[in-house]
Amino acid sequence: QWALENGRVYTDAAETFGTGQVRRSTIVAVIDTGLDYTHPDFAAARLWHNSREEKNGYDDDNNGFVDDLIGWNFVDGNNNPWDLSGHGTHISGIIAACTDNGLGIAGVDGDALIMPLKVANFAGQARSSAVAAAIYYAVDHGARVINLSLGSELVTDLERQAAEHARDNDVLIIVSAGNKGLSTAYTGYATLPGALVVGASDPNGERAGFSNFGTSLEVLAPGVDVLSLRARDTDFIGLSQPLDYDDGAAFVGEADEYYRASGTSFSAAMVSGLASRLMADRPSLRAEEIRRILIQSAVDVGAEGVDQTSGYGRVDYVRALAAAPEAYIHARLVAADLSLADEKIWIAIEGHADA
C-alpha cells in the first residue's frame, strides 16, 4: 500500500499523536455505488447504524425512509445500499478497511464509520436529485465528512443548495477532480460551495497525467494503482471496456477479494480518511479548520508555490497533525491577459493573496 507510506499515514509520529485522548469515530458518508458490507476485511463495527430506526417496516424516526438501518439506496428507493459496481466499496475500503487484523489491507482511518449512500447504478450513472438527497441525508444523520467521487460536467441548483447545507452544518465535502486531464472548470462538483477538490499523484509524488487541473484544484493525493477492497462479483474497470484491459486483471489476492485501480476518486477517498482521522484526533476543530489544515500542510510539488497542476501540493498526515488551524497563506493567480500598446506587449496578471 504505497499510498499510505507516501502520505505518512502510519508512522511513529502519527501513531503517538493524541496519546491519552478519547477518540470518537468519525462518520464518513460515501455517496457512490454502494458497499459490499459483507467483505471479510470490512468489519461490521465500521458500518454506521441508525440508532433511531428498527427493522419493523415502519419509519421509526420519521425521516421519510423506512428501515434505513445502515444508509439508503437512492437508486432503487430501498434500505439496501448494496454495491453492484465495486467503485463505492473500493472507496470505502481506502477509508476504513480493517486495520491490524492480520488480513488484507489497512484503511486510512480504521476507526471511521462508513455511511453508504447509493446514488449510482451498475454503470456508475447518478441523478443529480439523488446526489442532493444523499447530501441532505448525510448531514442530517451525523456525517462529518462526505466523500463524493463522482464525475459531473454540470452542477444543479439542487446540488449546490445541498452543499451549502453541508457547509452551514460543519460538514466537509471532499470531491475528486476528475480523470480527463482537463481543467476542473469542466467538472461540476469541483465548483460545489465549500468542497475540497483533490487530484491524483503518482508514486513519484507528481500529478498523474490523467488528473484534472485548474484554479479549483487544492491538493493531490495518491491515485495510481491504489489497492483496496473488491465488491463481490464486480470489475468496475472492465465495465468501461478499455482496450488495454483484460477482465479480472485488477484482481488481487488468492480469492480475488482485493482490487487495484487508478483515479482521482481514490485520491479523494484517501483525503476523506485523513480528514476523518484528524477530526477524531482533534475533535475541537471545525470542518473548515480541517479543510484549511489539509491544504496548508501539503508538501509543495511541481512548480514552486501554489499552481494549477498541483494546487497547494501533496497531502501529508504528519504535517497535518502538527499544523495550526489559525495559520494560513492563500495565494492564487487567476488570470493573465496579453495586450499590444506603443509597440510593446503588455501582460496583465490578476490574482489575490491573504494570510
Asked if 278 contacts 290 with a C-beta cutoff of 8 angstroms, the reply is yes
pTM: 0.93
Calculate what percentage of the chain has a pLDDT beyond 70.
97
Contact 81, 15 (CB under 8 A): no
Mean pLDDT score, 237-247: 89
Confidence of residue 116 (pLDDT cuts 50, 70, 90): very high
The pLDDT of residue 17: 63
Question: What is the DSSP-derived secondary structure letter of residue 265?
Answer: H
Instruction: Output the average pLDDT for the chain.
Output: 92
How far does Cα 38 stand from its chain's mean position? 22
pLDDT at 331 over 90: no
Residue 278's pLDDT is what?
Answer: 94
pLDDT digits (tens, 9 = 90+) for 259-292: 999 999 999 999 999 999 999 988 899 999 999 9
Half-sphere exposure of 322 (CA within 13 A, CB side): 11
For the stretch 209-234, pLDDT in tens is: 999 998 889 999 999 999 999 999 99
Q: Give pairs for 332-340: CB < 8 Å, separation 24+.
A: 332/215, 332/306, 334/215
Q: Is the pLDDT of residue 248 over 80?
A: yes
Residues in the chain: 355
Cβ atoms within 10 Å of 181's Cβ, excluding its own: 12
Q: Indicate whether 35 pLDDT > 90.
A: yes
User: Mean pLDDT throughout 54-70?
Assistant: 94
pLDDT tens-digit readout, 121-164 = 988 889 999 999 999 999 999 999 999 999 877 899 999 999 99
Instruction: Name the strand (E) or helix (H) holding 222.
Output: strand 219-222
Q: Are 137 and 165 spatial neighbours (Cβ–Cβ below 8 Å)?
A: no
Based on DSSP, count helices (H) and strands (E) in the chain, helices before strands: 9, 12
Least confident of 16-30, 89-103, 310-324: 16-30
Q: What is the pLDDT of residue 22?
A: 64
How large is the average pLDDT for residues 202-209? 92
Task: Name the percent of the chain lying above pLDDT 90.
Answer: 78
Residue 282 DSSP SS3: coil
pLDDT for position 185: 67
Q: Say what the pLDDT of residue 160 is.
A: 95
Rounded Cα distance, 340 and 338, in Å = 7
CB 220, CB 211: distance < 8 Å: yes
Q: What residues contact residue 52 under an 8 Å CB cut-off, 6+ apart?
A: 60, 61
Q: How confident is the model at residue 18 (pLDDT cuts 50, 70, 90)?
A: low
Pairing of strands 113-118, 145-148: unpaired
pLDDT recorded at residue 123: 84
pLDDT at 182: 80
197 pLDDT above the threshold of 60: yes
pLDDT at 187 over 80: no
Contact 32, 147 (CB under 8 A): yes
Q: What amino acid occupies position 224?
A: V
